[in-house]
Structure 1
């Protein structure tokens, strides 16, 4: 759906992870792995999760083809469930447009709580979401909770107050506005860290 080239947010995340001394990365909603493969090529070890086992199989094959399979593991996972990882076990977490799926505000908070749990103190979380300035916000079929559906695809559009609420008890470094793809989609790229304890 989004092509084979790594996303701009993943390139930003690489720099942020490297600056923080990260080695072990978790990617949520990895899909076919265009960003996972970038992280692995850049020398990180990556655990990629996604709801689709088929997408993860294609990711694993691509990693083998590129000679980086030793740095990539995959797990089929529904983000509404607890992450299958121990506490403080990863250095960085990346999620491109996963949190703006058709998740309730409560489910989004639960995901971010899980991210905080698995991140080591000082670890970095980079995520992107479509926001309420997007052209599709307020159009299509309304499902409540800032969720609107177009062509069978529902999106939770983020108001700034939700970003700020998700950053409570974190150190929020950046909320960067950018555009991507057709329409174009209007997104925020958020970078925050779990404070060192």
Structure 2
């Protein structure tokens, strides 16, 4: 990582810590539509152990646990994961939830072929370089069992924020303190190399609205 990239990563980590502290449970308790879709995909592949990357305060991780999955939630914000653990106890699913403070720029703290499914809602389109994103997807491939599913969502270059705000290079633009790497379709296809690309679904979420792709891909058996 370049010095500029490290500075941006450090600034984003601090910004998310401050955001979760100031706005606990900021995304509410209802799961994202992407998580509901992913749960169906995971059940169809016979998944039991699920990892969520960038779980934040846990609305989707807790949903997976309520649906009966064993979930490991990772995030680089200790504050967000603290809120997740409290909510897991309140909802009676703490026995199915583990957490780990982790920066996805580093190798995943998991053994080879040790999990059944991986979920990441808008994690890959954080302030990560293309090189870092490709390395992360390689790590997801490493830890997934054959036939395992990976469902992720990203904001794409059709989003109204693309090309505006503070430019950091590599299709990364910052608005209101949040830096986003906007995906083009070529990057999605590159990340699916060696996988079965099951679906690229366009949808909208939140204000503006944000324009995203929901990508579902599976490892060959």
TM tier, shorter chain? Answer: over 0.9
* CA offsets 1:67-101 (integer angstroms, 9 cap, x no match): 11100000000010000000000000000000000
C-alpha separation in 1, matches of 2:78 and 2:178: 20
Query: In the alignment, what sits opposite 2:156?
Result: 131
Runs of 5+ consecutive residues of structure 1 not aligned to the other structure: none
C-alpha separation in 2, matches of 1:90 and 1:116: 10
The 5 A counterparts of 1:97-136 are 97-136=122-161
Runs of 4+ in structure 1 deviating by more than 2 angstroms, as ranges, are 1-4
Q: Tell me the CA shift for residue 2 of structure 1.
A: 2.5
C-alpha separation in 1, matches of 2:176 and 2:65: 34
Instruction: Please state if 1:19 is matched with 2:44.
Output: yes
* CA offsets 1:95-132 (integer angstroms, 9 cap, x no match): 00000001000000000000000000000000000000
2:78 to 53, 78, 85: 53
Query: In the alignment, what sits opposite 2:165?
Result: 140
The 5 A counterparts of 1:135-174 are 135-174=160-199
Query: In the alignment, what sits opposite 1:90?
Result: 115
C-alpha separation in 1, matches of 2:150 and 2:39: 11
The farther-off stretch of 136-145 and 162-171 is 136-145
2:210 to 160, 164, 185: 185
Query: In the alignment, what sits opposite 2:68?
Result: 43
Query: In the alignment, what sits opposite 1:74?
Result: 99
The two structures have a TM-score, normalised by structure 2, of: 0.88
Runs of 5+ consecutive residues of structure 2 not aligned to the other structure: 1-25
The two structures have a TM-score, normalised by structure 1, of: 0.98
| Pairwise CA RMSD | 0.6
Give the number of equivalent residue pairs: 196
Which structure carries more helix by proportion? 2
C-alpha separation in 1, matches of 2:28 and 2:63: 13
* CA offsets 1:8-48 (integer angstroms, 9 cap, x no match): 00000000000000000000000000000000000000000
Query: In the alignment, what sits opposite 2:28?
Result: 3
* CA offsets 1:154-188 (integer angstroms, 9 cap, x no match): 10000000000000000000000000001100000
